[in-house]
Structure 1
Amino acid sequence: MSRNRVLVPQAKAGLNKFKMEAAKEVGVNLTDGYNGDLTSRENGSVGGQMVKKMVEAYENNL
Structure 2
Amino acid sequence: MSRSRSSNQLVVPQSTQALNQLKYEVAQELGIQIPQDGYYGNMATRDTGTIGGYMTRHLVQIAEQTLAGRQP
TM over 0.5: yes
Which is greater in Rg?
A: 2
Structure 2 counterparts to residues 37-56 of structure 1, below 5 A: 37-56=42-61
Unaligned runs of 5+ in 2: none
Percent of pairs with identical residues: 33
For the aligned residue pairs, the C-alpha RMSD in angstroms reads 1.9
More helix per residue: 1
- The answer to whether 1:16 aligns with 2:20 is yes
TM-score (norm 2): 0.68
Once superposed, which parts of structure 1, at least 4 consecutive aligned residues long, lie more than 3 Å away? none
Unaligned runs of 5+ in 1: none
TM-score (norm 1): 0.77
